[in-house]
Amino acid sequence: MCEALGTVRPYEQERRVVLSVLPHYADGAMSGPNMPARLLLGPGPSMVHPRVLAALGQPLVGHLDPEFLALLDRVQEDLKRLFKTQNQLTLPISGTGSAGMEACFANLIEDGDEVVIGVNGVFGTRMADVATRLGAQVVKVMADWGDIIHPEAVSEALASCRNPSLVAVVHAETSTGAWQPLEDIGELARSHDALFMVDMVTSLGGCPVEVDAWGIDACYSGTQKCLSCPPGLSPISLSERAAEKIRARESKPRSWYLDLSLIGSYFGGERVYHHTAPISMIYALAEALALVHEEGLEKRFARHERHHLALIAGLSVLGIEPAAAAGYRLWMLNSVSVPDGVDEAGIRRRLLLDHGIEIGAGLGPLAGDVWRIGLMGESSRPENIRRLLLALACELGGDGVAAVREADAQLSRAGS
């Protein structure tokens, strides 16, 4: 442990906030795991607002209770405002972001369909794997990890297909920190009469998304990133074009659990039982969405941008530079190069155990070379940036005060 921070339990404040909203944990009246309150600055999960934690502890009601159904309606409306869509088929899938990915593919592709998928990191690779397992003929558009998928390459891939049915890319590649532009690729998909699918697991709630304006037919996200809710639900949205494709299927989707025709009858008004909704997680998502809309989308996105710039400014004083391609760097997930000669895993471990701060490791070809620092939702706060910069300086031996001053100067230039 660094001498300068030796007497501080850095996560004590968060623990006190949690105990103040869940007092039964404080007096020992309830037993349960006694988890440390970490500062979560990794690729997800992110910090959760005390109001969301408190929502999880609300009394359970049945999944057909009128109060619960009214809450579900509200969640769907709040999701539409967030995705910027009028799509009727906008709802939270039970399961994490990968369940949303699998739901979209399972419902939109049939055996032998030609599907073009951008692969420039872990999650494009996963999309290709999932689509292949579901019977698609996948045409991969490859790019270097850290780079984006270029529209010209998508155009070539589409031209090589006989009858492409779907084009899919990842908006925010969490494994590399690359921010994928969408509009040109969406137009290409439409010009081939193919559906356009986008992974928004990391982008939703942290940067603009415009489902209707960008012609997106299917997208899915996760609750544990910029929505600052625990993991467990995957908000999805499907256009009328996508819904029509599902209605016109020749075969049933390969997954019963993720069959949107069946799930849609619970959400769509008839309230037909399909599976028991994860009630407490819906409470949490409802509260997380309320917080998003109370803040306002534009203000929330501007906060993510401001804090990304402040972090990058502070890190550069410590000799740590961004790894993703210039001009395409995500605000909510900062992939940065580990300085030469530094014990990547050792520093990460000390940040966690001595400073109570989680950051992420590199994945795949980037393992050992990058750290992934998330400033998502509730985690995207100036005090968290300062705490991380000081802890890193402590462990790396740099000038932490100068790094914090640089980050603060950037924040004041941005007017906060």
Asked if 332 interacts with ligand PLP (CB under 6 A), we say no
- Binder to ligand PLP among 222, 230, 360, 374 (CB under 6 A)? 222
The residue (of 87 and 223) whose beta carbon lies closer to ligand PLP is 223
Residue of 97, 164, 356, 377 interacting with ligand PLP (CB under 6 A):
97
In the stretch 112-131, what mask flags binding to ligand PLP with x, by CB under 6 A? -----------x--------
Q: Tell whether residue 292 is a contact of ligand PLP (CB under 6 A).
A: no
Site for ligand PLP (CB under 6 A): how many residues? Answer: 15
> Which positions from 231 to 270 touch ligand PLP by CB under 6 A, shown as an x/- string?
x---------------------------------------
How is residue 184 annotated by DSSP? H
174 binds ligand PLP (CB under 6 A): yes
For residues 362 and 373, the answer to whether their CB atoms sit within 8 Å is no
Contact 299, 206 (CB under 8 A): no
374 binds ligand PLP (CB under 6 A): no
Task: Tell me which long-range contacts 128-132 makes (C-beta under 8 A, separation of at least 24).
Answer: 130/98, 130/101, 130/102, 130/105, 131/105, 131/168
Is the Cβ of residue 100 or residue 400 nearer to ligand PLP in the bound state? 100
How far apart CA 413 and CA 416 sit, in angstroms, is 8
Q: How far is the CB of 122 from ligand PLP (least distance, A)?
A: 8
DSSP states along 70-127: HHHHHHHHHHHHHHT---SEEEEEES-HHHHHHHHHHHH--TT-EEEEEESSHHHHHH
Handedness of CA 88, 89, 92, 97 (dihedral sign): negative
CB of 358 to ligand PLP, least distance (A): 14
First to last CA, the chain: 32
Q: Is 197 helix (H, G, I), strand (E, B) or coil?
A: strand
Rule CB under 6 A: choose which of 128, 170, 194, 211 binds ligand PLP.
Answer: 170
**Which residue from 44, 186, 264, 400 is in contact with ligand PLP, where contact means CB under 6 A?**
44
Answer yes or no whether residue 202 interacts with ligand PLP by CB under 6 A.
yes
Under a CB-based contact definition with an 8 Å cutoff, are residues 158 and 196 in contact? no
Structure tokens at 129: 């794997």
Out of 136, 169, 197, 201, point to the residue binding ligand PLP (CB under 6 A).
Answer: 201
Binding residues for ligand PLP (CB under 6 A): 43-44, 96-98, 101, 123, 170, 172, 174, 199, 201-202, 222, 231
